[in-house]
Amino acid sequence: MSAIKEKILVIGASGQIGVELTLALRKIYGGANVIAADLREENELLKGSGPYVSLDIMNKEMLHVLILRQNITQIYLLAAILSATGEKNPNLAWHLNMQGLLNVLDIAREENLHKVYWPSSIAVFGPTSPKQNCPQQTIIEPTTVYGISKYAGEFWCNYYHQRYGVDVRSLRYPGLISYKSAPGGGTTDYAVEIYHDALEEKHYECFLSENTYLPMMYMPDAIRATIELMEAPQEAISVRHSYNLSAISFSPKEIAASIQKHIPDFTISYKPDSRQTIADSWPQSIDDSVAQRDWNWKPEYDLDAMTADMLKNLTK
């Protein structure tokens, strides 16, 4: 860690990734040096671990004042409208996802912030992208407003790095699975809901068909990937759009079988809805060899290890 004291702002800190990332950053940098911000009220899990502010990312002046007042040196911008929710209100999803990013990049340029983190997603890929081992550079023609906004955002990140030298870094997250905080309206949310229903109802009705394979990742791996990317030396970062990131790929049928090893009488049924179309437009697996090469990325959890940990922690 550098001798310069880092002061970090996490925007969207009450969300699925935000909660766990904030807690992890507070462990490294100290509670007082990581400020959690969200439009929503403070997540219960964050209470007592460090400062919390109410923030609307669309209010650039308010954001700017907060950054100056708190001597912020790094921003993690996680506030976004996700894939399934975005399809219900495309204009809002585009406006919030884009303007939020541009506000942060512009202030980062003006105030010479040390680093910015902004997540992209596998949603940037579309039906014309390779389905298996989808590479870092490939055909990218997204079909959801979320995917469109993330892809456009990747170009803005690269632009601000090339033109203004802003050290902005990004990962294309797969579907993220966690027990601490609820998912936020994405197409991969079934993989969180299924564990809850397995324990509570012994049955789950899945909104995707049984053989829908999607790239997924257990939250501890996602948090570690994010922090490892941000701690990597600047010269190691060769991708300024967004890095492919991979851990596991599975189908609803496979996750159900994994759960049945622990809960033998668990059953699953299938009732695909509009989210099936989104899932069908995405790759089934991702090639993240560039992340492996640049900053030694390596996932820890496979499907069965994740299932065991999820069920253990949800049972608590």
DSSP conformational letter for 33 = G
Q: What DSSP line would sit under 54-109, residue for residue?
A: E--TT-HHHHHHHHHHTT--EEEE-----HHHHHHSHHHHHHHHHHHHHHHHHHHH
* Residues acting as catalytic residues: 146
243 Cβ contact partners less than 8 Å away, ≥ 6 residues apart: 136, 170, 171, 172, 229, 288, 290, 291, 294, 297
> How many beta carbons lie within 10 A of that of residue 304, not counting itself?
13
Among residues 279, 257, 277, 275, which one has the least CA distance to residue 267? 257
- CA dihedral (134, 98, 225, 303) in degrees, to 10, reads -60
Report the distance separating Cα 305 and Cα 294, nearest Å: 26
